[in-house]
Amino acid sequence: MNTTTRLLLVALLATGVVGCAKKTRPVMVDRVDRVDTTTMTDDTKPMDDNDGMYGPEDLDSDACLRQRVVYFDYDQSDIGGEAGAILACHAKYLKDRPSAMVTLGGHADERGSREYNLGLGERRGNAVSSALQAQGGSGSQLNVVSYGEEQGTCSDTSEDCWAKNRRVEIAYTAK
């Protein structure tokens, strides 16, 4: 991860946390995940006309909810501070919308054996699942699928690429 991306992420997180807490208007940001976020919702409507509850449109517009990837350290499944902020708003979304469903895709970097990495991807997915449940999400809304090292976002043999691949992707299968 280069410095620019890092700074951008920090900036995103800052706006994201504020977005979750105060439901301010969405801030235009770069994409940080594979989810298509180019279509912005109608932001002429006040965002907090719903008692501070999230609605489906917030998935595309809310700066925090738009972050769908959580990263991990090597051979670790601990959720760091940055990830905690992202998960807090997704947990709130799941709580606000009991019909929403999420698949948590767990991934590992290329080092070590493939089957062990499947286990590691699942452990990371489970860690995210637990964090979401601890903050109000329900286990029945969450499905963990581990892809191990099979679906890397990059394939270079470098610390940068490995860091991008050690991740859990949050995918909404029902909004």
Residues 7-36 touching another protein, rule: CB under 8 A, are: none
- Is 145 an interacting residue with respect to another protein (CB under 8 A)? yes
- Is 91 an interacting residue with respect to another protein (CB under 8 A)? no
Question: What residues contact 134, with CB distance under 8 A and at least 6 apart?
Answer: 91
Smallest distance from another protein to CB 153, Å: 10
How far is 173 from 170, CA to CA, in rounded Å? 10
How far is 150 from 115, CA to CA, in rounded Å? 10
Provide the pairing of β-strand 167-174 with 101-107: antiparallel
How far is 137 from 140, CA to CA, in rounded Å? 9
Q: In this chain, which of 26, 146, 170, 172 binds another protein, going by CB under 8 A?
A: 146
Contact yes or no for 119/74 (Cβ under 8 A): no
- Is 156 an interacting residue with respect to another protein (CB under 8 A)? yes
Q: In this chain, which of 7, 48, 151, 160 binds another protein, going by CB under 8 A?
A: 151
Query: Which of 3-11, 21-29, 51-59, 108-116 is the region at the interface with another protein (rule: CB under 8 A)?
Result: 108-116
How far is 173 from 175, CA to CA, in rounded Å? 7
Smallest distance from another protein to CB 161, Å: 10
**Contacting residues toward another protein, per CB under 8 A:** 75, 110-116, 118-120, 122-123, 144-148, 150-151, 155-157
